[in-house]
Chain A
Amino acid sequence: MESVLGRYRNLVILMGVLFLQVLGLAMQVKRGANEASDTRLIRIWAVGLLSPFERGLVWVEDSTGNIWHNYFYLRGVRAENRELKAQIEQMRLEQVRLTEDAAQAHRLQGLLAFKEQYVAKTVAAQVIGSSGSDSSRLVYIDKGSNSGLQRDMAVITADGIVGKVLMVYPSVSQVLLISDQSSGVGAILEKSRLQGVLRGTANGEIVLERVMSDEQVAPGETLRTSGGDQIFPKGLPVGTVTRVGAGKDLFLNIKIKPAANLSKLEEVLVLVEKQEKEPAAEAAVRVRAADILAQRLPSVPEKPADAAAGTTKAAVPSATAKPKAAGTPAVQGLKGAPTNALQSATTGLQGSKVVKPVSSPPKQKVSVAPSGESNPEGSQTAPSITEQKPANSPSIQPVPPADDSSPH
């Protein structure tokens, strides 16, 4: 027996080492993927060993890159600045339209007692490493539990969602990308409003599952988070449909190009805090066009008390007058929108001759529609002041399109 063991010593040791590893694998699989706490310690060692080097290299790379970008690569900045300014103007005009839409959506949500999740707090982090393996699509970021990160927090960029925090170490975290096979994100198609589950495939592609084959999905349609996974808030950009084909089990095979560039991630945001709010329905009705206009029109200096006595109130309100009910969510669009948005909204009204907000009956809501020129979709709606129902009326009416009789 001893001679046999001695003769096949190498083979016996090989079998022993393999057996131990298979045993370890079996134990991990039996416990389940989510209960990886027992393997956590050795993972911490491995990550702790490599992350300082990765951190250092990223720092050197960034420093070198900053020197290049800040000092040498200034060619074309002036032209770019001009373009960006023009873009900002366009976006301001678009913002006015979106503000109106958002206000209306908030009112409707308030009426239906919907609750929405908002991104309340994010932590910026830098990507410092990856798994280095094609079968495990994850990245490491340089923030961990010391920065308030926890498991299952959403990770995004300005372009779209990236993944979720899988493991948290003191100063490093592991982020599972949405392209990994074990990842799953609730998503909704923007136009058709079809919901599905976003998953990664073995070859690194991303597909939208659970959309029935009798539904119509067109390539190019954009995809947003549905909020159903309780990780990503609703409405974050996910990607675009690139290909639609027949899948198995009566489902479509929809391939998605992610909005965020997952193969070249540098900085990401971790959503460390989400807020749940219920929009109020009554808020917007208190905002009057007169109040908005008052911000733009020159004010009449207040007369002394004795001189003012016996005179009627100034027809044009003071420019310092503030819109009412500014703190309510329904007017967040108006309040929250920068003053520039309001300025843009009233730009068309500023030079107009016929401005008679004060002639409108009291307690009537007046809404301001954006200028037709400013509408990015090209619909030619003239700036209009339209009357709506009194403030205490719960019904919501859309702003009718302006006609020629609208005051300019």
Chain B
Amino acid sequence: MPITYTSGEQVEVYRFSIPVTIGVPLLALFVQAFVPLRFPRFAVYVDLPLLVTIFFAMARRSPIAGLFTGAVIGLAQDMLGHNPIGVYGIAKTIVGYGASSLGVRLDVENAGARFLVTLGFYLVHSAVYFTVANVLVNMTQHWSFWHGLLAGLVNAFLGVLLYFFLDKFKQRT
């Protein structure tokens, strides 16, 4: 039975089947945990769970669904590390809310808009993560604008390709 989130009036709202709703984030977490064993730089530059969060949030166009999607994926990502649970959770909750709110107002179906949205939300995610980690948890995180920008561009490029693939799983409401 498909899960449906409808909140948009003018723009098209999509839904996803249960296997896709659960399987895609799970697969993203799995790839994120496994690939760095063979390609160590992957974890430095790529955040697949973030891309999946942005995609689902934009497609569903429901802020509440977006923030919960972000929270669940972020918390799951926190659980794989040894840092306190909630740092990624908070960052991805905000991104999920923001992406879905933006999805309601803008047409985020074309590649250029998706590239810019992903780049922007990657920077927002990094900023929130950095703030929470340093202020609330006392983790020492170094912020580098150029590193953030480079990683943002990598994620944006990868995101456009990934969204194109994930579009196939969209179901019209």
Contacts and interface: CB of A to CB of B under 8 A. Distances in A.
Q: Do A and B associate with each other?
A: yes
B158 interface: no
Given A46-B80, A131-B80, A136-B83, A14 B93 contact: yes
Interface in A1-57: 9-10, 13-14, 17-18, 21-22, 24-26, 28-29, 33, 36, 39, 42-43, 45-47, 49-50, 53-54, 57
B141 A202 contact: yes
B80 A132 contact: yes
Contact of A10 (B63, B80, B83): B63
A47 B90 contact: no
Tell me what chain B mostly uses at the interface: helix, strand, loop, or mixed. helix
A24 B80 contact: no
A130 interface: yes
Interface stretch (A106-114, A174-182, A273-281): A174-182
A204 B37 CA distance: 15
B97 A10 contact: yes
A138 interface: yes
A228 B111 CA distance: 56
B140 interface: yes
Size class of the contact patch on chain B: 35 or more
Contact of A135 (B38, B63, B83): B83
Contacts of A130: 33-34, 36-37, 43
Contact of B90 (A9, A22, A167): A22
Contacts of A17: 67-68, 71, 93
B128 to A, nearest CB: 10
A53 B84 CA distance: 25
Contacts of A167: 82
Nearest to A43: B79
B139 interface: yes
Given A138-B81, A182-B82, 16 more contacts: A10-B97, A14-B63, A25-B90, A25-B136, A39-B85, A45-B79, A47-B80, A54-B34, A131-B33, A132-B29, A132-B81, A134-B44, A136-B81, A138-B82, A176-B82, A266-B37
5 contacts: A21-B86, A25-B137, A46-B79, A135-B141, A166-B82
